[in-house]
A = this chain, B = another copy of it.
Amino acid sequence: MTAELALIAALRRLATHPGARGLDDDCAVIEFGEEALVLTHDMMAEGVHFLSGQDPADLAWKLVATNLSDLAAKGAEPVGVLLGYTLGRDDVRFLEGLGEALAHYGAPLLGGDTVRAQGPRALGLTAIGRATHRPVPSRSGASVGDGLYLTGAVGAAMLGFEALRGGSGDSLAYRRPRALLAEGQALAPHVSAMMDVSDGLLLDAARIARASGATLAIDRAAVPVAAPEARRDEALRWGDDYQLLFTAPAAAGLPIEAHRIGEVRPGSAVPLLLDGLPLTEADGLGYEHR
């Protein structure tokens, strides 16, 4: 994977705009006409981000929700989306799910492109948002003494994925994640750092820690988990739940209910302390994008 990592690093270096956040990173934030434009583009590939047999309506929903979740973490409201769609099987069903998701989130389809191609499909969506609060929350603002918070439980998508793969049980949390747009907008004025948990709580917490030059101390038992207790450690590393993870001054009155799961400590060689034990990316914190 070294060549790929080098490529991604090189692509990041191409991202020279001050508001750019690079590839595989969170949104770009651009000053535009007295407002802040928030931009993100995420892809989903067959066999990587979804199973080949999945309902195309669910894929469309997830493609929209995951991109809008990136906007949520910036406290942005959606302006609209552009779709890059490879025509294939069950296009009409895809369209139904797309229409449902766009109507649910009030995000119009602004345009896009369709192509006919063979082989496994890759779907792409660009989401355009308008920041509702400035400064726009980023990963890098966590301050020593801030609390670390999570909007809800992790682990539900893990169980949902297993149900879908196994062919029985409730897979909704995996198939139809929610983008917490209202929550992100409510939180934006109160947080010092924020992101959505897409790749695993521990991995995404480590990203906030690295970006902020801080260490995040997490109380393992305080993390709400929607899975059997025996699977707590897995749930902390599974992505796809799209909860918002944020830091805020301890005294801040938060506008919505959130779970305090730890606190921000001075930076050190390790990004995370889990019940006091140091953890780094080498310990396997979540899903690393390739």
Contact = CB atoms under 8 A, between A and B. Distances in A.
Interface residues of A, number: 70
A37 B111 CA distance: 13
Contacts of A79: 30, 32
Given A17-B108, A28-B82, A115 B34 contact: no
Contact of A126 (B15, B37, B48, B126): B126
Interface in A112-162: 112-120, 122, 124, 126, 128, 130
A81 to B, nearest CB: 9
Nearest to A3: B91
B109 A45 contact: no
Given A30-B80, A33-B32, A290 B16 contact: no
A290 B20 contact: no
A8 B98 CA distance: 13
A83 B117 contact: no
B14 A80 contact: no
B108 A41 contact: no
Given A91-B4, A92-B7, A126-B41, A14 B118 contact: no
A17 B7 CA distance: 37
Contact of A47 (B23, B40, B117): B117
B115 A45 contact: yes
Given A43-B84, A290-B116, A111 B28 contact: yes
B117 A120 contact: yes
A47 B117 CA distance: 8
